Chains A and B, each alone.
Chain A
Amino acid sequence: MKHALLAVLAVAFLALWGAPSPVHAAGNDLGMEDADQESTQKIRQANAECLSCHTSTDNPQPVAAPRASGPSGGKTAEDDAKDERKARRMQLVIDGGHYSGSVHADMSCKDCHGEPHTAQSKSSPPTACPSCHRPQRGTIVPEVARSVHGKDKLPAFTCYSCHDPHNVRKARSLGAERNIAARDNMMCRSCHDDDARYALMTDKPRPDLLKAHRWQPNPEMHWAAVRCIDCHTPEKTGAQPSHEILPKDKAARLCVDCHSTNASLLTRLYRHEIGEQRVNAAGFINAYILTQAYVVGVTRNQYLDWASLILLVVVIGGLAGHGLLRYVGHLARKGRK
């Protein structure tokens, strides 16, 4: 009996152990081995070697972005723009500290870069996110393609336009929702608030973000607390937000989408907290938000609302009763006369 139980447990354990995670399965396809202690150590060492040249902090003489090559004379404005684009993309300095804290810290640089500094590596781009993340291919890739950026076929608009390939982190690991908002909004603002970077993508003038969001009070305060994608993508249930950035006329602009007790914000930005008790002992609805923000219309206190109602009934009732008695007294006096 005992043995049988152990056997079942062992089988279950092996099944779980052996069950390939989606990413690892993808990794294996690419010839990556499952990480163990020793190889992880080796990988980190090898990465540190690369980083000895490629970080700004560890190296007193950091690798500089090379000047765009080519004859300096006879260039058109278009050539200049192209050169600038190239120079910008060729930022050879990455942040080693960020990398070692990211989800890919235990991966070799070569998993994405192949053998660098070769003629071949220079002509071919690094491995793209979806080549490894196959399960996401079916969802994120079409969403990005359907988004305004994908539809407009912006040149070189890829996953990395938003995600720093050397600093991918899961939203959950960032802790407070404000940190998530700060990180996610920086993705968009590093381009939408940056003329140079924006110009690499399009010739159209960059719309001013603050001007575009004048319809909302205090946009900067809002952006510290909510993500751009909370308004600019369709609502989607599940752990992952949608990647489909909608055209501006389809963006959410209803305040009550967020400022109400059943706001969509709660299933989006605050989705990690959604399991928590909605009303706490002190009577606050959506109390888990209170550690981060008091949001008018969302974090109401039930007891206070009830007290308001009762007080209103008492006051109006009292006044009406008083009025009635006055009227009765008035009638009685008239009758006596």
Chain B
Amino acid sequence: MAHRTFLFAGWIRLWHWCNLLFFLGLTLSGLILHFSPPKVGILDYNLAQRIHNIFGVALAVSYLFFVVANFATGNWKQFVPRFSGFLGQAIRQTRYYLFDIFFGRPAPFPTTAEDHFNPLQKLIYLIVMYVMMPVLIITGLMYLWPEMAPDRLFGLDGLLPVAMLHYIVAYLLILFMCAHVYLCTCGSSITAHFKAMITGWHEE
């Protein structure tokens, strides 16, 4: 309880939980659309498709909000790793995750008000938020309006690469989400990080 730092502004927390909601809806409905099981509860294909469209657009909007707010508030700096000595830092952080953490040793890059994330986190978040999310959203919108996709590509339907990319990126993001949730249990207590995203206060 000793040390409390305020990390997450209200808009970040709000955006974060909205993002979670949209992501869960999109994951569930997306898996149904891809694997097309006969029926999952009341979730048939038609409903799944509708949910996917609505949540997809909602995700796009919330992403846009995230990007704008990030630049407006300067929060974007949190996502940029320091390039000098990055490799060494990344190795130290990896060693922590794969080794030190089991012995209860302290994390090499503790959270501070200036530095919310450790170097690995920064890199991963940077890729997720500024590479994968745009690809996911753009391919998703192309899917929603197929006339935006190339009509034909190498003799195959032009929607094919769009659909494959959408699926692959979405799937990697689902895996990221699993890891993200798990790593959130690695705070000073199991629930510390979750509380931080609810109250905004980080506890050491």
Q: A interface vs B, CB < 8 Å?
A: 215-218, 221, 253-256, 259-261, 290-294, 296-297, 299-301, 304-305, 308, 311-312, 315-316, 319, 322-323, 325-326, 328-330, 333
Q: B interface vs A, CB < 8 Å?
A: 33-36, 38, 44-46, 49, 53, 97, 101-104, 146-147, 155-157, 159-160, 163-164, 167-168, 171, 175, 178-179, 182, 185-186
Q: A256-B45, A315-B179, A323-B182 are in contact. List 14 more A-B contacts (CB 8 A).
A: A217-B53, A256-B36, A293-B159, A294-B157, A296-B33, A296-B36, A297-B36, A301-B164, A311-B171, A319-B179, A319-B182, A322-B182, A325-B102, A333-B103
Sample (30) of A-B pairs whose CB atoms are under 8 Å apart = A217-B49, A255-B36, A255-B44, A255-B46, A255-B49, A256-B38, A256-B44, A259-B36, A259-B45, A260-B36, A291-B155, A291-B156, A291-B157, A292-B157, A293-B157, A294-B159, A294-B163, A296-B34, A296-B36, A296-B163, A297-B33, A297-B35, A300-B35, A305-B35, A311-B171, A315-B175, A315-B179, A322-B97, A326-B102, A329-B104
Q: State A329–B101 Cα separation when bound (angstroms).
A: 9
CB distance from A223 to the nearest CB of B (A): 13
Knowing A255-B49, A315-B179 are in contact, say whether A290-B164 is a contact too (CB < 8 A): no
Q: Among the listed A301, A319, A333, which residue makes an inter-chain contact with B104, where contact means beta carbons less than 8 Å apart?
A: A333
Closest to A333 in B: B104
Knowing A218-B146, A254-B45, A296-B163 are in contact, say whether A323-B185 is a contact too (CB < 8 A): yes
Q: State A46–B176 Cα separation when bound (angstroms).
A: 74
Q: Evaluate contact between A304 and B164: CB separation under 8 angstroms.
A: yes
Q: Among the listed B53, B146, B160, B171, which residue makes an inter-chain contact with A290, where contact means beta carbons less than 8 Å apart?
A: B160
CB distance from B32 to the nearest CB of A (A): 9
Knowing A292-B157, A319-B182 are in contact, say whether A304-B167 is a contact too (CB < 8 A): yes
Question: DSSP majority for the A interface?
Answer: helix
CB distance from B179 to the nearest CB of A (A): 6
Q: Evaluate contact between B164 and A315: CB separation under 8 angstroms.
A: no
Q: Evaluate contact between B156 and A290: CB separation under 8 angstroms.
A: yes
Q: Among the listed A254, A290, A300, which residue makes an inter-chain contact with B34, where contact means beta carbons less than 8 Å apart?
A: A300
Q: State A256–B33 Cα separation when bound (angstroms).
A: 9
Closest to A324 in B: B102
Q: Among the listed B49, B101, B160, B185, which residue makes an inter-chain contact with A294, where contact means beta carbons less than 8 Å apart?
A: B160
Q: Among the listed B46, B104, B164, B178, which residue makes an inter-chain contact with A215, where contact means beta carbons less than 8 Å apart?
A: B46
Contacts of A256 in B (CB 8 A): 36, 38, 44-45
CB distance from A224 to the nearest CB of B (A): 10
Q: Evaluate contact between B160 and A255: CB separation under 8 angstroms.
A: no
Q: Evaluate contact between A290 and B182: CB separation under 8 angstroms.
A: no
CB distance from B29 to the nearest CB of A (A): 12
Q: Evaluate contact between A312 and B175: CB separation under 8 angstroms.
A: yes
Q: State A261–B37 Cα separation when bound (angstroms).
A: 10
Contacts of A218 in B (CB 8 A): 146
Contacts of B159 in A (CB 8 A): 293-294
Knowing A256-B36, A326-B101, A326-B102 are in contact, say whether A311-B160 is a contact too (CB < 8 A): no
CB distance from A252 to the nearest CB of B (A): 12
CB distance from B88 to the nearest CB of A (A): 23
Q: Among the listed A300, A308, A312, A329, which residue makes an inter-chain contact with B102, where contact means beta carbons less than 8 Å apart?
A: A329
Q: State A217–B48 Cα separation when bound (angstroms).
A: 12
Knowing A296-B163, A323-B182 are in contact, say whether A290-B102 is a contact too (CB < 8 A): no
Contacts of B102 in A (CB 8 A): 325-326, 328-329
Q: State A184–B24 Cα separation when bound (angstroms).
A: 41
Q: State A221–B151 Cα separation when bound (angstroms).
A: 12
Contacts of B36 in A (CB 8 A): 255-256, 259-261, 296-297
Closest to B30 in A: A296
Q: State A256–B32 Cα separation when bound (angstroms).
A: 10
Q: State A255–B53 Cα separation when bound (angstroms).
A: 15
Q: State A304–B161 Cα separation when bound (angstroms).
A: 13
